[in-house]
Structure formats: structure tokens, C-alpha cells
Structure 1
Amino acid sequence: MTESVWFHVDMDAFYASVEQLDNPAYRDKPVIVGGLGNRGVVSACSYEARAFGVHSALPMYRARKLCPQAIYVRPRMERYSEMSQEVIALLKEFSPTVQQISIDEAFLDMTGTERLYGKPRQAAMLLKNRIKNELGLTLSVGIGASRFIAKMASGYDKPDGLCRISVGNEQWFIDTIGLKKLFGIGEATLATLKHHSITTPAQVREFSLEHLKSLLGESGGLYLYQACRGIDPGVHTGITKSRSISTENTFSTDLDNEEELFRHLLNMSHDVMFRALQEGLYSSTVAIKVRFSDFTTVSAQRALDHPLYSGEQIYEVAKELLRSRWRPPKKVRLLGVGLYAVTEEGPPIQQELFDDPYRRKGELEKAVLSLRSKGRSIQKASLLEEDEK
């Protein structure tokens, strides 16, 4: 049986690297991309800027204090998207199966390509050299027998790195990187494990699946049980266009009015739903992100047992999540909402779903999307401000 070979390609400091590529004077200098106002945040930064402690999501005013000599530029999303498409086009020359999961990341199924490009490490070097020579960008490549291992391997030797984890060495690799760098393990899970004196993958493996489920829930326990053994938990299965669809809004003035925050949440929920419809994607998991005036950030998500069909469904779940994380008079600086674990695989058709009011609303939103695609200006009344109605 042919051994599976997956590459995970991760472009190095992508936005900042594109800026350095287009502006030779920026090369080898700290470059910071993001909103330039006092309330802006860092979207991306070059490795030269990271040496000063700058990182993505850092408030821009703090970045200026850490690295005042940096070159500050606004994001040029159209240009980054253009370069991303060129990278993906080149990747498709190496494999018919390319799964783009973000603007600067993709998986390649390289199984059975050894006769064309040589052994995996040789093929990865060929790919890296072509992207560097033809597009002027560097990237890091992780190689493994699963997407899960390849994803973590690509981050092991950045920037411009190459890391292959051979079959049989997965558990050793998991022990080497530790729980904090284990993909899919967040701060809440780490805190729970630490509370029970579990701080390493090896310690996790000492517990039974049933015990881990009792600590982290059914899905969380199973995920950790598999992940710490180097077994792919299947987090990328079926995800071929995007692992998430999200949007966020940084307010010009911090908000503490519930009605106003809910209006923003409703607008963003419909925006996310329309984008999912445009891409033909499905999800049953809603997440929110809230950043307060003191820059502390919290998040929450909820997985439903049925697919989401409308923006109003997303809104209702997001509203509950927001209420669980925020209470006035605490002021909100940023609010975001998104769909996670998105997939192209549609939900099974069941007769009772045809009477579901949310599904009918979903059909309405598809009709609105169709009109928009034909150049018609149309917006749901619930999204209009009072003076527009």
C-alpha cells in the first residue's frame, strides 16, 4: 500500500513579504501591515519587526513604541489575493489535490508523485525554489503522512523552513513540540489540563479515553487522545476552500450599548452567511470574538447538531455567546463573528427540514444573493438603520 504524503505550505510573513517584494527599499527592514490609526491593530509584520516583539493582533500604538523605526503600511488585500492565486496556481503544477485553507496556507496531497519529483524532501525543495525564483517569496513546508502532522511540521522551522516527520516518528514529534504548540489545543484546554497536573503529551497518554472525555467533553477528549498519539483527528477532512469564514469590526468609539452591539452583530452574521452561500460552504459552528477597551480579548463558540441556513440563525447563536462573555457597562472595542469547521459537503436532505423556518429563510437569502450577483441593490429591512427605513 502506498504511503500517504501530505505537504502543508505556509507562506512566510505573507502580507509583509509581498510589501517587501513590491518595494525593494523595504527589504531587510521591519515592515508592519495594519490599520494606521490610533485604534488600528497589526495584521502582519516582517520577521525583522518580530525581532522587536511585534506580532499580529498587537495594538498599533504598542507596535510603534516597540519598533518606531518600522515601515508602516496599510493592507492591500487585492494585491495579496493576486499573489495568493499565483502561489496556488504553481502548487497545482505539483499536485492535482490542493486544498487552500487560507490566503497564505494550503495542503498538497503528494502521494504517488515520487516518480515525477523525487522523494518528498526533494520535491519540497523543488517547490520552494520555484516559488522563490518565479514569485520572489519564501515559504515553509511541513511533510507528514497526514494533514495534521504536516500542518504542525511547517511551523517547526520557520521562516523558509522544511521539516519532514517520517512515519513512526509522529509521537516523538508531538512530544518535542509540546501541548502548547499542538494544533487545535487552546488556552482553555491547557488551563483545564494544568489544573489536573497534565502538562505534556506523554502525561495525556497515561489517561484513558473515557477519563479525557470526562475532563474535556466527548469531542474534546477524543481530539486530545488522538492528537497526543500523532493520530490525525480529522480536523481538515472535507475542508477544501476555507477552514473558517469570519468578519470583525473595530469601532471608532468603544461601545457599551447592548442594542447597538446587537445591530453590529446582526449585520456581521448576515455578511458571513452570504459569503458562505457564495462559496457553497456549510457549517454548524458559530464563534464570536470580543476585545474590550483594555485590550483583553475573549472568544466563545458553539457547535450545533444541525447545519446553519441563515444569517438570523448565526445571529441568534452569536447573541447568546456575546451575552455569556460580556455585560455592560464594560466597553467593547472590537466584535467579530464567524463560522468554523466549514465544509463543501452539504447536509443530508431530510423531509422534516423542508418545514424548518430557518431553512426557508436560507432559501430567501440565496434568492437575495442571486439578485446581488446580477447587480441589483437589495438589503434586508432588519439591517437598515432606523432613519433609512
Structure 2
Amino acid sequence: MPDESPRPIRKIIHVDMDAFYASVEQRDNPELRGKPVAVGGAAARGVVAAASYEAREFGVRSAMPSVTAARKCPQLIFVKPRFETYRAVSRQIREIFAEYTPLIEPLSLDEAYLDVTENLRDMPVATEIALEIRGKIKAVTGLNASAGISYNKFLAKMASDLNKPNGQAVITPKNGAAFVEGLAVKKFHGVGPATAEKMHRLGIETGADLKAKSLEFLAQHFGKSGPYFYGISRGIDNRQVQPDRERKSVGAEDTFIEDIVELDLAKSELVPLVAKIWRHCEANGYSGKTVTVKVKYSDFQQITRSRTVSHFFGGEAELVENAAQLLASAFPFRKPVRLLGVTISNLGETSAAHEHQLDLAI
């Protein structure tokens, strides 16, 4: 006879290091402690890779142009990234995770999902596991971590932000749906500015507003994301924690609030996309040989243009140049452009990837 016993409620922890790159720099250089620090390039084309909490008080954020960050915080201290160091610390953290569960899904160097429903310590309470893990991370690395605990990945991710920095929060099955209903959709993980603006136009401001929409309505207006939004508005997210995912590509895209028709403006929008991709590649020690540009028009039709080179891309400037050339090959645009995306593939570890170049030259 089939096993009809109820499946245990999943226990998911999302661990997120607090201002990771900047905190490592403050740990290793006592002169930076308590001061506003930005990891990244200070030049005109520089981009902030990470900001300390002291810098965030002035409105400095990651992915912000360095000139904007310096204007918001004139006393901001720029520090060159040390990705080998960050990777070494990340390995220490993942070794701690592995003491508790083999089900670890890293999202980046500084965050990961852990499924501790059945764990190696036979600990029944996930909040206690999170406390232990955070304590060990502090003891081993000297750094603070925050954590969110819940019964699915979406809510665990949302919970990890509730008591930052150096805190944790739990969202239980009993209060998960109510938590989502009271949350502004613009704060949902996975809802960017353009999607939030579209939801606003459709009268969707909160999780409760989202829940009130039918599956058909959400699929019509948000395509493949419709069923996901339908589920999370009810506190439902059945995605599994996936350990050891082999990454085949790295991409970023942006949907614009106003459609773009000019080539120069479209090219400028490639820069922050490439910066995001390159930060991820450098942080994880790999690059790629193929770049693909995606163009989605106002009528939702889309095209892609790809190019493969004989070597691994060595920096942001080279990647931006190739992406811009691909974009130019699609000009004049047959319709206004509502979305641009950049992806690199044919990934591999390479010593040819130069030191992180946050100072772009285009």
C-alpha cells in the first residue's frame, strides 16, 4: 500500500551575510570600522559592488554609480575588491552549513538556502539551528549573518530581511499567508521596479491585492511569472532547495518603465546589466566566451543576438563593447524596446579573468 503519512512541513533557512564584502574589509582593516565604506571603483565609470551599513545610512547602495554614491556621502571611503578573500571566507561559511545539512543551495558568495527538515544534527527546531549557524559563522569568520526561517524559500528569503543586521526572524505556516497579504508587492523578492509599476497600474499594491486576482488574470498580464505570483500571494512556494546546481550561464535583464527607441540610450542601459553579471563572475572565479543580448519589444516579441569569442571575456569593458555591437546589429528597432537582457555562457574557471574592473571604459 502507498505511504499515506503526511509529508513533514519543510524547514528552510535563508542565511544572508550582512554587508558581506564591506564587512570583510572592515574586519581586516580596523581603520575602516565604523566608517562609510564602498567596495568598488571610485572613478567616473565606477560602480559600487557593496556598501557598509554606515554608508547605507546615506543612501549608498550596491550597483549604484560611484559618482552618485560619492555625492550622497562625500566622506565615503572606496576600497578595491578582493574577491579571492571573499571566496575564501565563503568557503568557510559553506563548511559550517555542511555540518547541518547536505541540502545547500548557494545563491552567491554571501547567501544560501538550507533545507534542515531532516538535518545531520537531529535538531527539531530550525530557529535553534539558525542561531547555532550564525554563532559559528561569527566565531570562525568574525562576521555577522542574518537568517530567515520558514516553510518555503520565498518566505525564508523575506524573513531574513526583517531583523537585519545580525538578527533572524521566523514566518510560520500559521502566519505565512497573512504576512504576505500585508506586504507591499514592491518589497517582494523577485518583483523589480518595472513589475511593481505594472502591478500599480493594475491596482495591485499589496499581497492582498495580488491574492484577489485570478490565476488567469495573472498569467495574462505576467506570463510565466503569473502562477508564481498566484502561489506566493497565498504563502505557497513549492520550489525545492537545489544543492550543487551547475551554472551554465549568468544573465541580467531590466524592464523599463518607459520604452526605449534611441540606440545610445539602449546602449547605456547595458552598462549596469554587465556590471551585475561581471560582479557575479569575478566573485565566483569564472568567465564566459559567449555573450547574448535579448531585446524585447513593446508588443512582447523578442529577438536575441549572440557572439562567441575564442577567449574568456576579461573584463566589463570588453563585455560591454561586445554587447553594444550586438545591440547595434538589431538597430533600427522595429518597435520601441521594453526590456534588455545580457547573458554570458560557455562558462569556465579562468586565470585570464583580470582583477575586477569596476572602472568601465566605453
Fold match by TM threshold 0.5? yes
Pair 1:226 & 2:231 matched: yes
Structure 1: segments with no counterpart, 5+ residues: 249-255, 290-299, 328-334, 340-361, 376-389
Alignment map for 1:329-368 (pairs within 5 Å): 337-338=342-343
Consecutive unaligned residues in structure 2, runs of 5 or more: 1-6, 254-261, 310-321, 335-339, 353-362
Q: Which has the higher contact order (CA 8 A, sep 6+)?
A: 2
Match in the other structure for 2:138: 132
Tell me how far apart the structure 2 counterparts of residues 325 and 144 of structure 1 sit (CA, whole Å).
49
Look up the SS of the partner of 1:44 in the other structure.
strand
CA gap of 1:7–1:65, structure 2 versus 1, over 3 A, is: same
* 1:287–1:301 Cα contact (<8 Å) kept: no
In the TM superposition, 1:66-81 aligns within 5 A as 66-81=72-87
1:174 is aligned to 2:180: yes
What amino acid sits opposite 2:239 in the alignment?
G
Deviation at 1:17, TM superposition (A): 0.3
State the shift of 1:323 in Å: 4.6
Aligned partners of 1:11 and 1:138 also within 8 Å: yes
What TM-score does the superposition give when structure 1 sets the normalisation length? 0.65
Q: Name the SS of the counterpart of 1:141 in structure 2.
A: strand
Secondary structure of the 2:122 match is helix
Residues 99 and 108 of structure 1 are in contact (CA less than 8 Å); yes or no, is this contact kept in structure 2?
yes
Q: Find the aligned partners of 2:59 and 2:333 in 1 and give their Cα distance.
A: 30
Q: Deviation at 1:238?
A: 7.5
Hey, what does 1:12 align to over in structure 2? 18
Does the alignment pair 1:154 with 2:160? yes
Give yes or no for contact 2:114–2:241 (8 Å, CA) kept in 1: no
Counterpart of 1:209 in structure 2 is: 215
Q: Report the structure, 1 or 2, having the larger helix content.
A: 1
Tell me the CA shift for residue 14 of structure 1.
0.5
Q: Partner of 1:177: helix, strand, or coil?
A: coil
Q: Aligned-pair RMSD on alpha carbons?
A: 4.4
Determine helix, strand or coil for the equivalent of 1:142.
strand
Q: Deviations over 1:43-86 (max 9, x none)?
A: 11100111111111222122222222232211111111111111
> Does 2:45 align with 1:60?
no
Counterpart among 164, 167, 179 of residue 170 in structure 2: 164
3-state SS in 2 of match to 1:152: helix
CA distance in 2, matches of 1:245, 1:110: 28
Residues 81-101 of structure 1, C-alpha deviations (whole Å, 9 max, x = no match):
111111111111121111111
1:101–1:240 CA contact under 8 A, matched in 2:
no
- Structure index of larger Rg: 1
Residues 122 and 58 of structure 1, relative CA distance in 2, 3 Å threshold = same
Deviation for aligned residue 1:10: 0.6
Tell me the amino acid that sits aligned with residue 342 of structure 2: V
- CA distance in 2 between counterparts of 1:163 and 1:324 reads 49
- Look up the match of 1:100: 106
**1:241, 1:111 → 2: CA distance?**
24
User: Taking structure 1 as reference, are residues 301 and 135 closer, same or farther at Cα in structure 2, changes over 3 Å only?
Assistant: farther
Distance 2:122 2:136 in 1: 15
Q: CA deviation at 1:35?
A: 0.7
Number of residue pairs the alignment of both structures matches: 304
Task: Give the corresponding residue for 1:110.
Answer: 116
Say if 2:295 and 2:303, in contact at 8 Å, map to a contact too: no
> 3-state SS of the aligned residue for 1:19?
helix
- In structure 2, the residue matched to 1:27 is 33
SS at match of 2:100: coil
Compute the displacement of 1:125 (Å): 0.8
Identity of aligned residues (%): 37
Q: Structure 2 CA distance, aligned partners of 1:138 and 1:287?
A: 38
**Aligned 8 A contact 1:149 1:230 in 2:** yes
Partners of 2:293 and 2:341 within 8 A in 1:
no
Q: 1:198 aligns with which of 204, 207, 212?
A: 204
Contact 2:40/2:46 (8 A) holds in 1: yes
Q: Is the 8 A contact 1:114 1:120 kept in 2?
A: no
How far off its partner does 1:155 sit? 1.6
Distance 2:47 2:142 in 1: 27
Alpha-carbon distance between aligned partners in 2 of 1:301 and 1:139, rounded to the nearest angstrom: 42
